[in-house]
């Protein structure tokens, strides 16, 4: 990928550890940069700030904090910067022969100079689903759960990574059963969202409860319950596709 020759200028998304700070020039010309794409006729670059350095003087923000303080477009580009910089940081050497890798001109890839093995940015597909029970209407309930990794007492949709050789729909059915012990059917795709925590693509679904009582997997879920639209617990903020799935259900 190359910047457009019609670019009005450059924007540099400095990645300080996993935080982001934006400037119109790179803080240090010696820092490695990665072209991210064009945004409103501006060429955007991800800048790899070496460990221990902080040209933002504490001004860099993690992606959760950056959301709401920047436009949706800037947040998406910042997420891309974090993912691509971290990918380059962790693929400096070949996983097959151990020799050094080099960025491949004209393609988003790191190539081993010795054996030719190419590595591309990692993207982990993950499903997230809102399970509902009962006919559509005010009495319909949604299954929401509090994960063991959640920041605070928040309830959200069920989610998990897709396994090798597994369909997306199969992952939905498996993850729901593994996490809360219920059987579901009528799995319907709703949309997707890049989720740079650290490198996921969230694929949103709706599903209908078929049978079973809630039995939480304690390694994954602290608590899970059925909730009516007029009695919801604390749910995720608008940053997430989980909130979009819940809002879509509330507005039906």
What is residue 151's three-state secondary structure? coil
**Boundary (domain end) residue, out of 38, 73, 90:** 90
130 and 244 part of one domain = yes
Q: Would 80 be classed as within a structural domain?
A: yes
Using one digit for the tens of pLDDT, what is the confidence trace for 186-211? 999 999 999 998 899 999 999 999 99
Tokens of 130: 């809102």
Confidence of residue 165 (pLDDT cuts 50, 70, 90): very high
CATH, residue 178: 3.90.79.10
Tell whether the torsion through CA atoms of 85, 90, 96 and 102 is positive or negative.
positive
241 and 187 part of one domain = yes
147 and 64 part of one domain = no
Q: How far is CA 51 from the centre of its chain?
A: 23
Q: Which of 58, 69, 79 is nearest to 13 (CA)?
A: 79
60 and 157 part of one domain = no
Q: Would 60 be classed as within a structural domain?
A: yes
pLDDT at residue 5 is higher than 70: no
Q: Between the CA of residue 41 and those of 5, 11, 46, 106, what are the distances in Å?
A: 10, 10, 16, 20
Q: Would 66 be classed as within a structural domain?
A: yes
CATH, residue 30: 3.90.79.20
Q: Would 173 be classed as within a structural domain?
A: yes
Q: Would 117 be classed as within a structural domain?
A: no
Question: Mean pLDDT throughout 127-149?
Answer: 95
User: Exposed e or buried b for every residue in 29-67, given b needs 16+ CB within 10 A?
Assistant: eebebbebebeeebbbbbbbbeeeebbbeeebbebeebb
Q: Where are the alpha helices (DSSP H) in the chain?
A: 63-66, 72-89, 168-180, 241-250
Using one digit for the tens of pLDDT, what is the confidence trace for 17-32? 999 999 999 999 999 9
Using one digit for the tens of pLDDT, what is the confidence trace for 43-67? 999 999 999 999 999 999 999 899 8
Number of domains in the chain: 2
77 and 131 part of one domain = no
67 and 142 part of one domain = no
- What is the span of the domain harbouring residue 211? 124-250
Whole-prediction pTM value?
0.86
């Amino acid at each position: 990928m190359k910047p457009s020759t019609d670019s009005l200028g450059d924007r540099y998304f400095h990645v300080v550890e996993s935080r982001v700070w934006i400037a119109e020039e790179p803080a240090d010309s010696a820092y490695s940069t990665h072209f991210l794409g064009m945004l409103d006729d501006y060429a955007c670059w991800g800048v790899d700030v070496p460990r221990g350095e902080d040209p933002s003087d504490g001004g860099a923000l993690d992606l959760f904090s950056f959301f709401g303080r920047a436009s949706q477009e800037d947040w998406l580009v910042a997420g891309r910067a974090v993912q691509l910089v971290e990918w380059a940081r962790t693929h400096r050497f070949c996983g097959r022969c151990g020799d050094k890798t080099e960025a491949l001109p004209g393609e988003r890839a790191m190539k081993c100079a010795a054996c030719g093995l190419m590595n591309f940015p990692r993207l982990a597909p993950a499903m997230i689903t809102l399970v509902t029970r009962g006919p559509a209407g005010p009495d319909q309930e949604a299954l929401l759960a509090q994960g063991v990794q959640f920041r605070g007492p928040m309830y959200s949709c069920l989610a998990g990574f897709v396994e090798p050789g597994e369909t997306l729909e199969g992952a939905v059915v498996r993850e729901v059963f593994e996490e809360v012990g219920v059987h579901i059917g009528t799995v319907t795709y709703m949309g997707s969202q890049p989720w740079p925590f650290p490198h996921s693509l969230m694929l949103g679904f709706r599903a209908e409860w078929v049978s079973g009582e809630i039995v939480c997997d304690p390694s994954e879920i602290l608590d899970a319950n059925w909730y009516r639209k007029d009695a919801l617990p604390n749910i995720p903020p608008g940053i997430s596709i989980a909130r979009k799935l819940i809002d879509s259900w509330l507005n039906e």
